[in-house]
Amino acid sequence: MLKTFTDIFKISELRNKVLFTLFIIVAYRIGAIVPIPGVNTEALKSFFDAHNNGLLGFLDMFSGGALNRMSIFSMGIMPYINASIIMSLMHGAHLIPYLDKLEKEGEHGRKKLTQITRYGMVMLGTLQSFGWIMMISRMPAPSGMPIVVNPSLSWIIMAVLTLVTGSVLIMWLGEQVTERGIGNGISLVIFAGIVERLPHSMLSIIKLVQMEEISVLFVLSLAIIVIVVLVLVVWIETAQRKIPVHYAKRVIGRKMYGTQTSFLPIKVDQSGVIAVIFSVSVLSAPLTLAQFTPGWTFWGFPIARKITEWLSHNGSILYSLVYASVVIFFCYFYNSISFNPKDLSENMKKSGGFIPGIRPGEPTSVYIQKILERVTLGGALFVACIAVLPDYLRSVVSVPFVFGGTSLLIVVGVSLDTIGQIESHLIMRHYEGFVKEGRIKGRWFNVK
């Protein structure tokens, strides 16, 4: 393993990619600690400590701790993810013919779609930043101290512009990593924010043991549970359902090729962490909208205040069911836009391929669709359980451990993807991979 890491720096191209990625991550972490002036950081920290087990804790995790510092990167990459979700929904439902037309125009059309997504990101970032600024301006800390010292109009405009600019800069940094570095830049930005909190969480657990608030046996039990869950996550993330495909004899040029057998791999968790990221992003939308109508009531029922309270504290059965349902929905939604059984069956038919016992064409498409739905159900239920159960247990047993279900899925998925790309570079240049027998199966997901 150590020799494999030294081989990375023997290849100039791979070495430059890895060093460039590390440089971008360091630059992102520096920006995450640069605060916006005019905010009482102690009052903001106490506010987050009181609401750490809710959606605010999730959003703070995705921003790498920048949200509870009110830094220039507080919004993180969430506005870009929200814009990507809206674009995917509109494209998947074929609501706007112009978007379908751009999709068929090749590289030029994809650039146009990316540009539209960026404009949407700026608009959503402005709305989210304004909603967040209004929220911390109205809500005092548990001690009664105001979080914003002087919430004047000029300060609000300055803060919103700063947060939107920070989100655009993060998006640009992520794109630079994707193009010139190693791994998916957007995912690595989220990954870096989660891993950065690990040392602090470990120190907090050590302090609790020293103060005899928790026992050493409890910490060891917690470590065993985390290791078991980690192994299960890696197993599910790399698991595949292989459909056998046979190819009849073909004549290419002057050569005749005999019957060949291969497999059509369908991942158990095709969406990976995308479903989890999309779910957290969607759940944050009501919290943002509630800040624009803080006095919204229905027959005397304070809807806006209840939404804020409900999304600020997880652990309830209703919250867990809604969160799990949204995760399952996005697992199926991602598969519907990334995997088309009809096109796959047509391509197999044109190349002379067939599934044993299944007629080519429409029957093959129906067969693949049924397998995809069944496999996706198992993967979606597993992802939903991993995303909900550890965070629910953490709300019952107050342990400051950063690796809940959501963060664990993200860390494992991004790690597999990045290591898989590094291993591909090594093997392509006749070096050994990280595993001598077989190869590491990366997630190969992208946030577009």
Query: Does the structure show a pLDDT above 70 at 131?
Result: yes
104 part of a folded domain: yes
Query: Does the structure show a pLDDT above 60 at 313?
Result: no
Q: Hey, what are 411's tokens?
A: 């860390």
* Beta bridge pairs of residue 261: 246
Using alpha carbons only, what angle is made at residue 378 by residues 373 and 379, rounded to the nearest 5 degrees? 95
249 part of a folded domain: yes
Percentage of the chain lying above the pLDDT 70 cut: 77
Stretch 372-388: mean pLDDT:
86
319 part of a folded domain: yes
Query: Does the structure show a pLDDT above 90 at 300?
Result: no
Distance CA 324, CA 281 (A): 14
Buried-state track 332-363, b at ≥16 Cβ within 10 A, e below 16: bbbbeeebebeebbbebeeeebbbeeeebeee
**The pLDDT of residue 444:** 42
**The pLDDT of residue 323:** 81
**The pLDDT of residue 165:** 92
**The pLDDT of residue 445:** 42
At 27, which CATH number? Answer: 1.10.3370.10
Q: Hey, what are 188's tokens?
A: 């690595």
pTM of this structure = 0.75
374 part of a folded domain: yes
Buried-state track 188-221, b at ≥16 Cβ within 10 A, e below 16: bbbbbbbbbbeeeeeeebeebeeeeeeeeeebee
Q: Hey, what are 66's tokens?
A: 């920048």
Residue 323: which of 268, 376, 383, 373 has the closest Cα?
383
**The pLDDT of residue 436:** 54
Which has the higher per-residue pLDDT, 313 or 118?
Answer: 118
Q: Is the dihedral of CA 214, 217, 223, 226 positive or negative?
A: negative
Q: Please report how many Cα atoms fall inside a 13 Å half-sphere around the Cα of residue 321, on the Cβ side.
A: 3
176 part of a folded domain: yes
Domain count for the chain: 1
- Stretch (H or E) spanning 260: strand 260-267
User: What confidence category does residue 447 fall into, taking pLDDT thresholds of 50, 70 and 90?
Assistant: very low
Residue 289: which of 130, 410, 167 has the closest Cα?
130
Give per-residue pLDDT as tens, 4-34: 667 777 778 888 888 999 999 888 888 888 8
Stretch 106-117: mean pLDDT:
83
Q: Tell me what the pLDDT averaged over the chain comes to.
A: 77
Q: At what angle do helices 107-138 and 274-292 cross, to 10 degrees?
A: 50
412 part of a folded domain: yes
**The pLDDT of residue 295:** 58
Q: Which domain holds residue 174?
A: 2-428
Q: Hey, what are 197's tokens?
A: 């909190």
Give per-residue pLDDT as tens, 263-295: 888 888 877 677 877 777 777 777 666 655 655
446 part of a folded domain: no
Burial category of 390 from C-beta neighbours within 10 Å (exposed 0-12, middle 13-18, buried 19 and up) = buried
439 part of a folded domain: no
Q: Which of 62-66, 249-253, 310-314 has the highest mean pLDDT?
A: 62-66
Q: Is the dihedral of CA 55, 56, 60, 62 positive or negative?
A: positive
Stretch 431-437: mean pLDDT:
56
Percentage of the chain lying above the pLDDT 90 cut: 3
